[in-house]
Amino acid sequence: MAPRLAKPGESRYFNRELSWLAFNRRVLEQAQSQTYPLLERMKFLAFVSSNLDEFFEIRFAGLTQQIKSGVLTAGPDGLDAKEQVQRIQAYVKSLLNDHNKCWKSELLPQLESEGILFKNYPELNQRERKWVAQYFESHIFPVLTPLAIDPAHPFPQLTNKALYILTALKKKGHRSSGAKMAIIPVPRILPRVIKIDPKRSNAPEVYIFLSDIIQKFIGSLFQGYSLKTVAPFRITRNSDLYFDEEEAQNLLSSIEEELVKREKGAAVRLEITEALDPVILKQLLDALDLKNDSVFETNGPINPLRLMGLYDLIDRPDLKFEPHIPKTPAGYEYPEFIFSNITKKDLLLHQPYDSFQTFIDFIKQASRDPKVLAIKQTLYRTSGDSPVIEALIEASRNGKQVTVIVEIKARFDEANNIQWARRLEDIGVHVVYGIVGLKTHCKTCMVVRQEARGLKRYVHLGTGNYNPKTARLYSDLSLFTDNKKITSEVADLFNTLTGYAHTPKFKKLLVAPFNLHDSIQRYIAKETRNARSGKPARIIIQANSLVDKITIDNLYKASQSGVKVDLIIRGICNLIPNVKGLSENIQVRSILGRFLEHSRIYYFENSTQSDYHLFVGSADSMPRNFFKRIECVFPIEDLDNRKRVCAILDAYLKDNSDASLLRADGSYHRPRNRGKNKSYFSAQESFIQNSKFNNLLEFKTRKRKP
């Protein structure tokens, strides 16, 4: 059973870090779900590990840094850094215990029943042992380097999240000599999970972890010694980047220097596969400057994230989700008509149900169209082989003015972003790194085209990154429009990002840090006044996180005034719902399904269902999004698009399959199905089925180009 986040009445706010851990437990529940295909469950198990890595590298590391600095001021939830660290460590150990049980007791037996076996060395048969021995000699042994630790060999610098094998050795024939420690770094180039005898056909697939092989044969590295202990381990380091943008003469160089330092940050977590001899463990912890409470033991794989790579290697479609083919909007299958189509009507895309190819076609067509004079785009995260990057390069080669605002401070994508930013610069693209002190997180693209009546702007605005890979996995909304008022303000936004216009005026767009936060508070206040006046009042917000204290307090006031508030918050939620006299009119749900919910939607009823305010954009309800980032939230004004977004919200609020409801104690529970005829409704599955139906319908009716 998951630990509770808070006692009723303990605080008006949930703790941010514990709320995030509760989200990761819901990810684990996906791996535990018997309704998901087996290999998909294995992927969710890997996601839990990946999420925890980032949590310890950034959030937990920040708390330990506060403790070392003597900063123990309590947050809005009443917990100081020490109290948070204690609760986090207890919560994570409970989470990891359930994580290990899921792997050992649920997934491994079910994988075995499907002919996919994960074996330890003692479980291998004679033929498999012979193959593994040969594999070790030819592929592993030559690249291993044992590192002795003694007065002549100081403790080595250990790399963040790398795999190591710790050994305690004793010289043969010397009973009185104490145990010596040695560490074997495992090169990252080696696969962590190995398929045994992969050429053998008509037999179950057998896999073994690399660490198991090294443990078995590690004695060959230490001739004349016996092994007392062999334990795979890895450490997690503080990976936040620290640099002063105001003082940095060259932002790229400063970040590159910090990336090198990231591998040497203070250790914050030790993961190890078994309990060590106390003396050896103390030596290791002393060398890492860690205490016993930073040790997280596991009896499963040392880094389950490595299971992610197996998903594509195992050719078992029957154990995966049925492939989903995104829908191309009618008429947009012909890129040469894309600008005329946008002129006729704003286009709303709901990915991954609608195809991201439509945006790729848009940017490619712009790069080739002789009437297009300029392209401006923000890029936060994208894949290295992105067709978007290739289209921007082609546009520059074709003589168009191309400006790209690159966010090189996008966490854990810094090196990748620097690499392709330099590639863009080499080809003549104007690359800008945004505004000092603010991350450029908005998702915007603008094309300027020469037409019969003069220059015309076309824009694309979205909630998700311009990344073709995540566009297949994340649920996002985006809009194509040539609306003059909106495109004019998008032009002002780009001028702000590339020039010195630091006090722009926006009327249509809600842009952080300029008018977004104040505008959201005004809309909440208006619903509050409407409720007090007896008018209909309702607020629906979908976001990844809800942390901002001012927004939460205003939502509490709205609830106390009778406003019905529905919050669809995937991850962190600091607001406590369903508290009498405080938030009894607020319901919070989290949707976790096949796709990662990533859209941000803001709905305010405005006293009538026909005159509601509806916005979509890149911003979560967090202080960093409101005040430390450039965010763009835009209105949905076309009637059909407004109806579609409202239908999407209605589907999420009806969901009783992938939804979990937040209780006042911080626990999440599945909505109950009442009545004799129990039926389950999944919003994501309904979107998939609608997409399939529309694809089929359009295929049957499509005859010629528009």
Are 491 and 635 in the same domain?
Answer: no
The answer to whether position 357 is within a domain reads yes
Mark out the alpha helices in 369-445 (DSSP H runs): 387-397, 414-426
Q: Is the pLDDT of residue 259 over 60?
A: no
Confidence category of residue 349, pLDDT binned at 50, 70, 90: very high
- Strands 613-617 and 430-432 turn out to be unpaired
What pLDDT score was predicted for residue 419?
81
| Most confident region among 49-63, 170-184, 349-363 by mean pLDDT | 349-363
Give me the percent of the chain exceeding a pLDDT of 70.
Answer: 91
Distance of CA 615 to the CA centre of its chain: 23
Nearest residue to 441 via CA among 620, 618, 633, 599: 618
Distance of CA 430 to the CA centre of its chain: 29
Give pLDDT, residue 388. Answer: 94
The pLDDT of 539-563, averaged and rounded, is 98
Sign for the CA dihedral angle at 461, 466, 469, 470 comes to negative
- Examine the domain organization and report whether 625 and 544 are in the same domain: yes
Q: Which of 444, 469, 500 is the last residue of a domain?
A: 500
Residues 57 and 131 grouped into a single domain: no
Catalytic residue among 99, 350, 441, 598: 441
Is 416 in contact with 256 (CB distance < 8 Å)? no
What does the pLDDT look like over 470-491, one tens digit per residue? Answer: 999 999 999 999 999 999 999 9
The answer on pLDDT for 180 being more than 50 is yes
Residue 418: the pLDDT is 78
Q: How far apart are CA 236 and CA 230, in angstroms?
A: 20
Domain assignment present for 404:
yes
pLDDT for residue 257: 64
| Same domain flag for 550 and 482 | no
Left if phi > 0, otherwise alpha if psi is -120 to 50, otherwise beta: which for 409?
alpha
Residue 161 pLDDT > 50: yes
Which band of pLDDT confidence, cut at 50, 70 and 90, is reported for residue 75?
confident
Residue 651 included in any domain: yes
> What CATH number should be reported for the domain holding residue 207?
3.30.1840.10
pLDDT band of 328, cuts 50, 70, 90: very high
Residue 700 has pLDDT above 80, yes or no: no
Residue 85, domain CATH:
1.20.58.310
One domain for residues 133 and 23? no
Radius of gyration of the CA atoms of the chain, in A: 28
Whether 328 maps to a domain, the answer reads no
Please determine, for residue 506, whether its predicted confidence score (pLDDT) is greater than 80: yes
Least confident span in 26-35, 297-306, 498-507, 688-697: 688-697
Domain shared by 517 and 588, yes or no: yes
pLDDT (tens digit, 9 = 90+) per residue, 227-238?
A: 888 899 999 999
Which region among 96-105, 143-152, 288-297, 364-373 has the lowest average model confidence (pLDDT)? 143-152
In a domain, 706, yes or no: no
Whether residue 706 has pLDDT greater than 50: no
CATH code (residue 441): 3.30.870.10
**CA–CA distance from 108 to each of 38, 111, 309, 406 (Å)?**
10, 5, 17, 43
pLDDT of 244 reads 55
**Residue 398 in this model has a pLDDT that exceeds 90:** yes
Dump pLDDT digits (tens) for 380-391: 888 767 899 999
Active site residue 441: yes
Q: In the predicted model, is pLDDT for residue 305 greater than 90? A: no
In the prediction, which pLDDT does 185 show? 95
> 241 and 409 in contact (C-beta within 8 Å)?
yes
Which residue, among 199, 188, 183, has the nearest Cα to 233 in the 3D structure? 183
Domain boundary among the residues 447, 479, 500 is at 500
Q: Are residue 385 and residue 456 in the same domain, yes or no?
A: yes
368 contacts 362 by C-beta, under 8 angstroms:
no
Per-residue confidence (pLDDT) for residue 697, from 0 to 100 = 45
Measure the CA–CA gap between 494 and 492, rounded to whole angstroms.
Answer: 5
Instruction: Give CA–CA dist 52/50, Å, rounded.
Output: 5
CA torsion, ordered 591, 597, 598, 603, to nearest 10 deg: -50
Structure tokens that stand for 600 in this block: 């941000």
pTM exceeds cut of 0.85: yes
Q: Is the pLDDT of residue 262 over 60?
A: no
| pLDDT above 50 for 556 | yes
> Of the given ranges (3-17, 98-112, 246-260, 631-645), which has the lowest mean pLDDT?
246-260
Which pLDDT belongs to residue 241? 65
**Does residue 326 lie within any of the structural domains?**
no
Give residue for tokens 């940017």. 363
Mean pLDDT score, 207-223: 92
What is the per-residue pLDDT across 585-624, written as a single tens digit (0 to 9) for each?
999 999 999 999 999 999 999 988 788 999 999 999 999 9
pLDDT of residue 329: 94
- 464 and 531 fall within a common domain: no
pLDDT at 703: 43
- Collapsing DSSP states into helix, strand and coil, what is residue 351? strand
Do 545 and 652 lie in one domain? The reply is yes
> What are the backbone dihedrals phi and psi of residue 13, each rounded to the nearest 5 degrees, phi first?
-140, 140
**Cβ atoms 475, 408 nearer than 8 A:** no
Tokens of 189: 């180039």
Contact 419, 389 (CB under 8 A): no
**Which among 153, 157, 186 is positioned nearest to 287, based on CA atoms?**
157
Which range among 176-190, 341-355, 405-419, 457-471 shows the weakest confidence by mean pLDDT? 405-419
Total count of domains within the chain: 4
User: Cα 638 from chain centroid?
Assistant: 31
Q: Which residues of 249-285 are buried (b: 16+ CB within 10 A; e: fewer)?
A: eebbebbeebeeebeebebbbbbbbeebeeebbebbb
pLDDT confidence band for 366 (50 / 70 / 90): very high
Each residue of 308-321: pLDDT tens digit? 888 988 999 999 99
Segment 7-26 mean pLDDT: 88
Q: Is residue 330 part of a domain?
A: no
Q: pLDDT tier at 445 (50, 70, 90 boundaries)?
A: very high
The per-residue pLDDT for 413 is 67
The residue among 459, 233, 479 whose CA lies nearest residue 354 is 479
638 or 670, greater pLDDT: 638
Q: In angstroms, rounded to a whole number, what is the distance separating the alpha carbons of residues 226 and 169?
A: 6
- Would the pLDDT of 411 be above 50? yes
410 lies in which domain range? Answer: 335-500
Mark whether 517 and 383 lie in a shared domain. no
Question: Which of residues 290, 312, 344 is at a domain's end?
Answer: 290
611 CB-contact burial (10 Å; exposed 0-12 / middle 13-18 / buried 19+)? exposed
Whether residue 705 is contained in a domain is answered as no
Residues 477 and 534 in one domain: no
Give yes or no for residue 80 having a pLDDT over 70: yes
Q: Are both 341 and 486 inside the same structural domain?
A: yes
Alpha carbons 350 and 646: distance in angstroms, whole number: 12
